[in-house]
Amino acid sequence: MSKRWYQENKRDPWRRDAKAKGYRARSAYKLKQIQEKFGILRRGDSVLDIGCHPGGWTQVAIEEVGESGTVIGVDLLSTSPIDGAIVMIGDITEEATIEEIVGHLGGRKLNAVISDISPRLTGRYDTDQAISLELSTMALDVASDLLPPGGSFITKVFQGAGIEGLVDAAKIRFSVVGRYSPTASRTASSETYLICQKRLQKSKNEGTAMEHLQRHLASIGIVVDEDDGRGQETKVGFRKIPKRE
Ligand SMILES: C[S@@+](CC[C@H](N)C(=O)[O-])C[C@H]1O[C@@H](n2cnc3c(N)ncnc32)[C@H](O)[C@@H]1O
């Protein structure tokens, strides 16, 4: 065993435990802690896991819903097969992915959408946080469309500018919305989880969560970059409007 392996495992008990118990990622413990506190997943539930690779959350979801339940995992990256789950490659921002998910559900209604979605990190916090916020808001839109009244939604989001826009959009869609930071998140991490319970009946003028977020960002002086200067629309990324003197 290398010295580095020994030191990393000594420092990080979640990593050590995940490996010992056969979980594919230490993040499995974040979902376990969320589940312990909020009891989101129940036996027999149908669950969509957004951003499932390599599969730690999917493994925990299967344990919770049991054999009578259904777990569908989706990620941009390929996830090796997990007993008892359907895993697919797909971009959650694309309509074709949603159609494939609905196909896998085969008429069953979802009880919960769980999302640990995260961008490929650039190391520049403002950029990573802006993209995380946008991805989580997209996940909220997917959950809002697919969940019937009473359903639950969890998503990861990085703390920072604009997060209130996401929280407000969640509050008009779910009757109980809160933030929770599991102790299994790394100490230095700025991630938190939005826990949304009891999907409300869809209202006619709900709009999309993304529209809600963009209005909020505009109100605090941040605009979504729609043009990258080369005449191409950028999908993600926000830009601060400099304050006028
Ligand atoms: C932190 S990882 C998830 C870890 C997982 N929960 C586990 O326990 O194994 C975040 C994942 O979000 C995925 N992701 C990012 N953007 C996505 C998108 N547009 N559609 C689907 N998945 C996406 C990434 O590919 C990445 O695998």
Domains recognised in the chain with CATH numbers:
26-204 (3.40.50.150)
CA–centroid distance, residue 92 to ligand 1 (Å): 10
Q: Which residues are catalytic?
A: 156
Distance (Å, whole) CA 36 – CA 49: 18
Neighbours of 98 (CB within 10 A): 18
Q: Where are the alpha helices (DSSP H) in 124-188?
A: 125-146, 163-171
Output the residue whose Cα is nearest ligand 1's atom 21.
Answer: 75
Q: What is the pLDDT of residue 156?
A: 97
Please tell me which residue, 203 or 97, carries the higher pLDDT value.
97
56-65 and 28-38 helices cross at what angle (nearest 10)? Answer: 40
Check if 55 has its Cβ closer than 6 Å to any atom of ligand 1.
yes
Q: How far apart are CA 162 and CA 224, in angstroms?
A: 11
> For residue 233, what pLDDT band results from cuts at 50, 70 and 90?
very low
Pairing of strands 191-199, 174-180: antiparallel
Contact of 55 with 41, CB cutoff 8 Å: no
For residue 77 and ligand 1, the question of a CB distance below 6 A is answered with yes
For residue 35, pLDDT beyond 70: yes
Give the pLDDT confidence of 47-78 residue by residue, as tens digits.
999 999 999 999 999 999 999 999 999 999 99
Assess contact for 166 and 194: CB atoms under 8 A: yes
Q: How confident is the model at residue 243 (pLDDT cuts 50, 70, 90)?
A: very low
Distance (Å, whole) CA 100 – CA 90:
9
CA-proximal residue: ligand 1, atom 26 (nearest): 51
User: Atom 16 in ligand 1: which residue has the minimum CA distance?
Assistant: 119
Q: Look up tokens 């990085």; give the residue.
A: 158
